[in-house]
Structure 1
Amino acid sequence: MQNAKHLSQKGLTVWRIYGLIQTLVLLLLAVGVGAFNYFFFETTWIYVVAVTILILLGVAIIGIIPNVRWKRWRYEVREHEIEYQHGLFVIKRTIIPMVRVQHVDSEQGPILRNYHLASIHISTAATQHTIPFLNEQEAEAMRMRISELARVAEDDV
């Protein structure tokens, strides 16, 4: 991918927020298991194990994984295809021919809206592809460009 682009730097912050939410859910589960253990088994070593695991998972989910994901995400929109790749151990590289594109949507939830980001969803007959965390203006321009290129590619066939 010669002219590949990265996702927005703000995407790192959004991934960290998602990680924080996941960690809080895990914390609630750990508190529930701890309360169950305290009332029925009265052992304290399980608290130490649960807190240690939760701290390690929190550091990974909030601190490490978003950086790795951001560094590995690349995308490129060319005249005849869209290409993107991501992954650490298993690198997934996808090429979507423009003639296969049926429609393109942009999506923006409350967290993305707060950071002025949007995700692009590209639909073909059989699959759905997503390019996350693009700046709002870039996402809208990309959506329009892909729609235009797909229309031109369809006319050529």
Structure 2
Amino acid sequence: MREAPEKRIEQSAIKVWRLHGLIYLCFFIVVTGIIAYFTYAHNWSKWILISSSIVTIIIAILAIAIPAFRWRRWRYQLFEQEIYIQHGMLIIERTLVPMVRVQHVDTKQGPILKKFRLASLEISTAATTHQIPALSEEEAEQLRDQISILARVEQDDV
């Protein structure tokens, strides 16, 4: 079996993923608050409120704990012939994207990534799109340009 790819995504990805998790958590807190109101105002069963509260607490724990584990598994490496991507927590997914299959490469940056000066790299083939999240802006642009050149060279050789 191949060795794991060498390059890691930026460590600030942990903060970005936690922030995304906390945004989703706000939705569950609001829903739990509405359920609490109806439980006391309209005599709903307290089990509904307890269940909702447990789900909200679990999501809060996951929003804080999961990003660090997720970051540890995210790796990538660029070779002349392929792009090697590894990610996953329980199930480790290792993907090789041949340069000859690359159709186009994009960088993507939403407001949260922009705040942390990060960008995601999307590599599109005819069948699917692969993503390397949370790279520094410079690294994402450099990889995008490098993959574009390597993919063009591979296409010319065929």
- TM, length-normalised to structure 1: 0.91
Q: Secondary structure at the match of 2:94?
A: strand
Which residue number corresponds to residue 18 of structure 1?
A: 20
Q: What is the total number of aligned residue pairs between the two structures?
A: 156
Counterparts of 1:6-155 in structure 2 under 5 Å?
A: 6-44=8-46, 46-61=48-63, 63-155=64-156
Could you tell me which runs of 5 or more consecutive residues in structure 1 were left unpaired when the two chains were aligned: none
CA distance in 1, matches of 2:46, 2:101: 58
- CA distance in 1: counterparts of 2:46 and 2:91, whole angstroms: 40
Change (3 A) 1:42 1:77: same
Moved more, 36-45 or 137-146: 36-45
In structure 2, list runs of 5 or more residues that go unmatched: none
Aligned-residue identity in percent:
46
Q: How far has the Cα of 1:34 moved from its partner?
A: 1.9
**Secondary structure of the residue that 2:8 maps to in structure 1?**
coil
Secondary structure of the residue aligned to 1:120 is strand
Question: Residues of 1 paired with 2:102 and 2:139: CA distance?
Answer: 19
Q: Secondary structure at the match of 2:9?
A: coil
Look up the SS of the partner of 1:8 in the other structure.
coil
Q: Give the partner amino acid of 1:37.
A: T
Aligned to 1:4: 6
**Distance (Å, rounded) in 1 between the aligned partners of 2:48 and 2:104:** 51
Per the TM alignment, residue 46 of structure 1 is displaced from its structure 2 partner at its CA by: 4.7
